[in-house]
Amino acid sequence: MRVPDQSGRVVLVTGANTGIGRETALALACAGATVLVGARDAAKGDAAVAGLRSASDNADVHRVALDLAAFASIRAAAARILGEWRRLDILVNNAGLVLSERRTTADGFEMTFGVNHLGHFLLTTLLLDRIRASAPARIVNVSSFGHITAPRGLDFEDLQSERSYSSMQVYGHSKLANLLFTRELASRLRGTGVSAFAVHPGFVRSDFGSSDDLRGLPRLGMLLSRAFMQSAARGAGASIRAATATGLEARSGAYIARGALGNFGPPRETPTSPAARDDAAAARLWQVSEQLVAGAGVSARVPRTPGRQQL
């Protein structure tokens, strides 16, 4: 995929030390961008930075310590970015996980929802003024075809999965949250020059769901299907297109994937489930997320604009 010249632009990719995050960061670094690698593990992050610099012949690649399961780490990462870089043109909220057993973040939230949605919500809102000041700019949220496993929408009475926990169901709800977040972002940012997109990378051979994160039948299913998965480089195509393709701005709020399953054809605008097009749920999720991160000392107030583009 040809990437337009990104010289002079600053990009943050979360979870950029491996998988589709690394491939997204590599493509943008090769196109001349300053690339910030958001990584929780210092050793892995530093190794990724060294590899990206070498592979792209671009020395302007930097690790930013970022643990999306800890508000303190998110605040520190945002403070460093705001202090060291005068602009932020592209934010790719890529990091994500799926867990067999219920765990909690440092701030007491269910881990899958906390990392996949809430951590990225906090990071985005902390950086939003800088992103708007850098317009034209883009925000890309990595979602998943898995959002269809939540056909009834989010359970706002049990967002923390305290009543029941099923790994793939909880994951699907977090991916639906990514889509609703994107929809509300697009609405609130209309007219600012900042576009927001959600993407599905497809089924990708990567570290996702590896180690002790996923066990039992879901883990077995993932292992058995690896032969049919695409490479991380191909999987990154949807993120790269959403972040850089010219003329896409008018479709802010769109969901980009290689077809419904994410593995066939070029990355293109793709329909979501009806639950992901629920404007009331999108607005409510934003409000609830504001309340949940209130203890982090951040204002997530982004004025809503009248009317809404139908997607």
Token pair of 237 as six digits:
């195509």
Residue 170 CB partners (closer than 8 Å, separation 6+): 98, 99, 102, 110, 112, 113, 161
Torsion of CA 151, 282, 121, 212, to 10 degrees: -10
Residue 105 CB partners (closer than 8 Å, separation 6+): 69, 70, 111, 114, 115, 118, 119
Torsion of CA 145, 147, 148, 150, to 10 degrees: 160
Pairing of strands 61-65, 34-39: parallel
Q: Give ∠ CA 166-148-151 in degrees, rounded to 5.
A: 85
The residue type at 283? A
Q: Which of these is catalytic: 113, 121, 171, 286?
A: 171
Q: With beta carbons less than 8 A apart as the criterion, state whether 298 and 205 touch.
A: no
> Comparing C-alpha atoms, which of 195, 182, 83 is closest to residue 132?
195
30, exposed or middle or buried, with CB in 10 Å at 0-12, 13-18, 19+? middle
Q: With beta carbons less than 8 A apart as the criterion, state whether 12 and 81 touch.
A: yes
Active site residue 165: no
d(CA 188, CA 306): 9
Report the first-to-last Cα separation within the chain, whole angstroms. Answer: 25
Catalytic residue list: 171
